[in-house]
Amino acid sequence: MACQLAGCRVQTTPAACNACQTNDNPCAINVVTIGMALVNKKRRKQDITELEALLRNYMPDDDAMPATLKMSNYKPGPGNELKKMIAWFAKPSDTCNCETRVDTMNDWGAEGCRRNIDTIVDWLLEEAQARGLPHGRFTATVARSLVNTAIRKYERKFPEGAPEPDQDDPEDEFDR
């Protein structure tokens, strides 16, 4: 369904398939399939006006846009790996630049993050200080270790780098 809405091939995830299956209108036009189509068209720099209007019709009036529709959630990278690792104790706040920094790390890729590790550690220390958390030398050591672990996790998952939205994966059984 997401492929039809987007007018192009849409790669999905098991989590998106599960969310679609548990929706009131599974395997049809619903918030999940519209969101997946919207993300893929946006990544291709195509017009998303119609999909946004369609999504508004399917969204309850009192709900904000679900976090699952954020493009960064669909773009793998070291930033997303780091975000997952620290999510249990450091949720993004209204005042942080967390999402922008996640996107920057994802754009840099593994090698770029290695080259910019001091900047990334500084970001983590800056945010720790803003939240009243420890931000000294020990925290910097832990932060550096977390960044390196995130880079390694990303490289294990995607040894050839993150797939581009137009790369076809014939083994993708989650395509809708």
**Is 83 a domain residue?**
yes
**Is 173 a domain residue?**
no
Percent of the chain scoring above 90 in pLDDT: 28
Whether residues 80 and 150 fall in one domain: yes
Whether residues 90 and 120 fall in one domain: yes
What's the pLDDT score for residue 150? 95
CA atoms within 13 A on the CB side of 72: 19
Distances (CA, A) of 15 to 68, 96, 114, 137, 163: 10, 27, 30, 38, 18
Whether residues 100 and 48 fall in one domain: no
Whether residues 81 and 153 fall in one domain: yes
**Is 60 a domain residue?**
yes
Whether residues 79 and 152 fall in one domain: yes
Q: Are 11 and 49 in contact (CB under 8 A)?
A: no
Q: Which of 32, 37, 109 has the alpha carbon at shortest distance from 75?
A: 109
Total count of domains within the chain? 2
d(CA 128, CA 134): 6
Whether residues 124 and 136 fall in one domain: yes
Tokens describing residue 167: 């790369």
What's the pLDDT score for residue 98? 86
Of the listed ranges 41-50, 74-83, 158-167, the one predicted with least confidence: 158-167
Give 59's DSSP letter: S
Range of the domain at 126: 75-157
Q: Are 73 and 40 in contact (CB under 8 A)?
A: no
Place of tokens 């581009």: 164
Between the ranges 89-93, 98-102, 163-167, where is the mean pLDDT highest? 98-102
Of 10, 39, 71, the one marking the end of a domain is 71
**Is 175 a domain residue?**
no
Whether residues 80 and 153 fall in one domain: yes
Mean pLDDT of 54-63: 65
What's the pLDDT score for residue 120? 96
Whether residues 79 and 139 fall in one domain: yes
Whether residues 11 and 63 fall in one domain: yes
**Is 176 a domain residue?**
no
- Burial pattern 68-101, b for ≥16 Cβ within 10 A else e, equals bbeebbbbbbbbbbbbeeeeeebeeeeebebeeb
Q: Each residue of 126-164: pLDDT tens digit? A: 988 888 888 889 989 999 999 999 999 999 998 887 776
